[in-house]
């Protein structure tokens, strides 16, 4: 099952990215 791109999903992705960078 592929995850659908939604606002929450994008937000989560960005958060994870920022955590990875920070």
Which has more pLDDT, 17 or 21?
A: 17
Q: What pLDDT shows up at residue 3?
A: 61
The rounded distance, in Å, linking the Cα atoms of 7 and 21 is 21
The rounded distance, in Å, linking the Cα atoms of 17 and 1 is 22
Q: Is the pTM of this model over 0.95?
A: no
* End-to-end C-alpha distance for the chain, whole angstroms: 30
Q: Looking only at Cα atoms, what is the longest distance across the chain?
A: 30
Average pLDDT of the residues in 1-22: 82
pLDDT above 80 for 1: no
pLDDT above 90 for 15: yes
Share of the chain above pLDDT 70, in %: 73
Q: Scanning the structure block, which residue is given the tokens 């659908």?
A: 4
């Amino acid at each position: 099952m592929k995850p659908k791109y939604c606002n929450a999903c994008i937000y989560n992705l960005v958060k994870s990215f920022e955590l990875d960078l920070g």
